[in-house]
Amino acid sequence: MISKLLSGMVSRRRLLGTAASVAGAGALGSLLPVRAFAADKVVKIGFLAPLTGEVAAWGKPGLDGCQIWAEWVNAAGGLTIGGEAHQVEFVAYDNEYDPGKARAGATKLIKEDGVKFIMMLGGDTWPGVQKVAEREGMLFSTLLPSDLSPDSSTLLAPAEVHPIYNVTGVEWLAENKPDLKTAVMCAQDDALGLPSVATYLAAFEAAGIEMLDDPLLFDPATTDFAPVVTKLLAKNPAIVSLDTCYSDYVHPICEQLFQQGYKGQIISCTADFYEKIVEKTSKEFMEGFIFQFPDFDDPALNGEQINFQRPNEFYAEYNKRHPGEWGAVSWEYASIMDLWKAGAEKAGSVEPDAVLAAMKDGGSGKHAFGDASWWGEDLFGIDNALVGDWPVVVIENGKAVIKGFKSIPAWYDKHGKLLVKHMEALDQMHYQRG
Amino acid sequence: MPEERRNSHSLAWLAVLYAGLIALPYALSYSQQEILVFTTINVLLVMSYRLLTLTGEWSLGHVVIMGCGAYASALASKALGLPVPLSMLIGGVIAGLIAWALSYPLFRMKGFYFLIGSFAAGEIIRLLWKRFRDPFGGPKGIKRIPDLGTIEIGGFTIDFYEPVTYYYVALAVVSVSLFILWRIERSPIGLTFHAVHWQDKLAESVGVDTRRYRIQAFVIASFFAGISGALLAHYVGTINPNRFNVEEMVYVLTWAIVGGTATFYGPILGAVALIVINDILLRELGFDQLRPMFYGLILICSVLFLPKGLESLVPRISRLVRRGNHNPSPPKVQPQEGAE
């Protein structure tokens, strides 16, 4: 009743619509979410990720990317299901990276908004939603395959295989800078940091790079990184690995490395907003910095094997709307939508079970960076991660450049046992979790 | 008003309140029912915090103590296979015992020093949860915590996954807990808590062991915080150290400050009002991503314009209502016959 009263009194659409009219469809109008008023049929997609708080950098840019994706798809006629056009609309819920709020958000999106698919960041929030997913049979996606388990058949990791793709950066480093043989590592002590630590340890061992010390795990509440960096540099390493640190850590750690006179190699999973790090340090200092997430204006993304639609235009449009906000997840949720759209059109239905079957049909799928296979039985207990090639990105003259694509399954075929060994040592295998 | 009449008046109001609380979930949407469950649990958390504040001490570790209850209850049910209701009780007891152990170093401090000491103690506990993956699950915490499951009664299935059902469980537990807290406050022990806060030197001069009473308040408050943590753990099915960080503690503090702690109902008003604004109103109005800004604005306004908390509005409103009842509009005076 209260919800009805609220929606009757001031619905979101009415409020924003009125405000936009008053403003003469001016500045406020441009902020309105994309709505498909003209279409008869609308498919709603849930976006359940942190949009505020310290993890928002891995949610909000993804939603912004999805809005561009929806506009482009809707402008091109929308989704074709059984010969009929459907417009796509995103419904977002800020879960604040809290499992309880994620549960409330999932039930709202499913029971009240009628979404057909829910995209999540995953991590700490997935266990709160897991029961809802099982009960409702809803199709979910996560960016963190460490959420995958045999218990959750409707959870897919179709965009990124964090942290397994980090092996490609280390492999490239070993091939191109074979004289660098010692490393140290730091990571925040949380659900994102630990599986990544295991992956880097396996990749370094496979590449014959010696770890000079145990990985330095710092508390996520850390704000002063001077002592962390001092401890890292005490062993005089040739390589400093920043693991999968959030951008709130990568930036100050790089500043500290710069201030403490480090001149060696840095490798990291992400380098979101790296331009700001270059500004705070120097082009020379950041030269050769290796990470895993390209800018989508890179010419290498125009190759025939790339399945992401118009990556250069997407990047340009994104930067036009959200200057300086391009990050690791800006394209990822949109790339998941490409896969979901293909699955729905193939199935001739938007119902979760039909789309899931169509997406996994044949055991392969069109990943953003090339055709890939549904994989993961060994590590996650279920083949629900789409794995293929992944780019290795290096900062050259202050700009991220793709230096090549390397195959994750090929690395795993050679060194899989090492990865399992380190994952088990840190209790990160699916049968060891919680 | 004679006491008997006042009591029956209060009971009538309580009956109306509970009738409303029992009917409330049916007036809400499904996701709002979910939020109602969390609100009920948070009411117990903030009310247990209020008991501690009665002695004049403000802690920054109360949410971690809640976490102790959550972890203990989760482990008791998952690792030891104990029934969930018993595990919840164990959660409360363990939280109380941990508070008792902490009280020895912490109550060597007072005021600001106690505040900082409680924060440090809380962080140590959180680090232990992270460090010891066995049994605490490390940074990822504990998942797949057993829930209350389902009960078959006369052909009816009661499913505790459903928010309405769990809300009634939470409401019952919270009601009993609040009744006990209320009785404690009205008992000689509760009056001594007030004395320890406002007249500690005077209390000591008449033989009151103020440290002992501070410890008592801390342990009792922690027991109920532990129960609230257990209620949360068995509903959401997962807990991790981040869920009990200082950011969550700031929410509890703001509920207590905005609501006020002078009356029994003050923190309840604060928690309910701020949760409804943050998780229902602002979301429904489409300000999902702007909520932290509005939340901050509301806090500043409440501190500026309601320094004594939302609870200070209640007497004003009841005075207005009473004045309205006692001064009905004067009857029209009928002109007497023959009068000009």
How many whole angstroms from its chain centre is CA A283? 26
Overall number of domains in chain A:
2
pLDDT given for residue A16 in this prediction: 38
A378 and A394 in one domain? no
Quote the pLDDT of residue B331: 53
Chain A residues interacting with chain B (CB cutoff of 8 angstroms) = 1-3, 6-7, 10, 12, 15-16, 51-53, 60, 92-94, 97-101, 103-105, 107-108, 111-112, 124, 127-128, 130-131, 135, 189-191, 193-194, 219-221, 427, 433-434
Q: Are residues A280 and A395 in the same domain?
A: yes
Q: Could you tell me the CA-to-CA distances from A408 to A165, A169, A206, A390 in Å, in that order?
A: 6, 10, 13, 7
- Closest CA in chain A for residue B126: A219
Nearest CA in chain A to B248: A98
Asked if residue A292 and residue A428 are part of one domain, the reply reads yes
Whether A419 is covered by a domain: the verdict is yes
Average pLDDT for residues A255-278, to the nearest whole number? Answer: 95
Residue-wise DSSP of A27-55: TGGGGSPP--TT-S-EEEEEEEE--SSTT
Size of interface A-B (CB pairs under 8 A): 124
Query: pLDDT tens-digit profile of A268-322?
Result: 999 988 999 999 999 999 999 999 999 999 999 999 999 998 999 999 999 999 9
Residue A11 pLDDT exceeds 60: no
Alpha carbon of residue A59 to chain centroid? 8
Listed by start position, the domains of chain B span 29-244, 245-324
Strand order in the sheet with A155-156: A79-81, A84-94, A42-49, A118-120, A140-141, A155-156
Residues A325 and A380 in one domain: yes
Same-domain check for residues A207 and A96? no
CATH number at residue A61: 3.40.50.2300
B286/A127 Cβ within 8 A: no
pLDDT class of A15 with cuts at 50, 70, 90:
very low
pLDDT of B334 reads 53
Looking at residue B199, its pLDDT comes to: 80
Position A230 in a domain? yes
pLDDT surpasses 80 at A221: no
pLDDT(A4) > 50 = no
Looking at residue B134, its pLDDT comes to 86
Q: Do B238 and A434 touch (CB under 8 A)?
A: yes
Q: Is B286 on the interface with A (CB under 8 A)?
A: yes
User: Is residue A304 in a domain?
Assistant: no
Residue in B30, B144, B283 nearest the CB of A107: B30
In a domain, A122, yes or no: yes
> Do A270 and A419 belong to one domain?
yes
Q: Does B312 touch chain A (CB under 8 A)?
A: no
Task: Say yes or no: A254 and A265 in one domain.
Answer: yes
Tell which B residues from 210 to 249 touch A, by Cβ distance under 8 Å. Answer: 232, 235-238, 240, 242-243, 245-246
| pLDDT confidence tier of residue A40, bands split at 50, 70 and 90 | low
Which position has the higher pLDDT, A111 or A151?
Answer: A111
Mean pLDDT by 10 residues, chain B (340 residues): 75 92 95 96 96 91 97 96 96 97 92 93 93 87 91 87 95 97 92 85 83 94 98 95 90 92 92 92 83 84 87 85 68 48
Chain B segment 15-54 residues within 8 A of A by beta carbon are 26-32, 34-35, 38
* A58 pLDDT higher than 90: no
| Min distance B213 CA to chain A CA atoms (Å) | 34
The verdict on A334 and A399 lying in the same domain is no
Domain extent at residue A428: 166-296+390-432
From chain B, the residues in CB contact with A105 under 8 A are 31
Q: Is B85 helix (H, G, I), strand (E, B) or coil?
A: helix
Q: Is the pLDDT of residue A53 over 80?
A: yes
Contacts of A127 in chain B (CB under 8 A): 143-144, 236-238
- Contacts (Cβ under 8 Å, ≥6 apart) of A339: A158, A159, A359, A365, A366, A367, A386
Task: Say what the pLDDT of residue B326 is.
Answer: 66
- The strand ranges marked E within B142-275 are 150-153, 156-159
Confidence band, pLDDT 50/70/90 cuts, at residue A123: confident
**Residue A198: alpha-carbon gap to chain centroid:** 19
Question: In B163-180, which positions are buried (b, 16+ CB within 10 angstroms) versus exposed (e)?
Answer: bbbbbbbbbebbeebbee
Report d(CA A432, CA A380) in Å as an integer: 11
A259 and A326: one domain? no
Are the C-beta atoms of residues B130 and B243 closer than 8 Å to each other? no
Nearest-angstrom CA–CA distance, A347 and A140: 17
At A190, the pLDDT band (50, 70, 90 cuts) reads confident
pLDDT of residue A393: 97
Pair (A395, A347) in one structural domain = no
**Structure token digits, residue A309:** 């639609």
Taking the C-alpha atoms of residue B36 and residue B207, their distance in angstroms, rounded to an integer, is 45
Residue B12 CA: distances (Å) to CA of B9, B144, B326: 5, 42, 20
On whether residue A264 sits in a domain, the answer given is yes
What is this structure's pTM? 0.84
Q: Which two tokens stand for residue A48?
A: 């359940």
Q: Check whether residue A235 and residue A280 sit in a common domain.
A: yes
Task: Determine whether the interchain pair A130/B279 forms a contact, defined as Cβ–Cβ distance below 8 Å.
Answer: no
Asked if residue A307 is part of any domain, the answer here is no
* Assembly ipTM: 0.86
**Cα–Cα distance, B32 to B25 (Å, whole number):** 8
H or E element at residue A141: strand A140-141
Query: pLDDT digit string (tens) for A380-406?
Result: 999 999 999 999 999 999 999 999 999
Decide if A15 is inside a domain.
Answer: no
Q: H or E segment at A405? A: strand A399-407
Over residues A342-371, the mean pLDDT reads 94
Q: Is residue A275 assigned to a domain?
A: yes
Same domain, A222 and A257: yes
pLDDT of A392: 97
Copy the structure tokens of residue B83. 């029934």
Choose among A47, A103, A17, A6: nearest CA to B285. Answer: A6
At residue A77, φ and ψ (nearest 5 deg) are: 110, -5
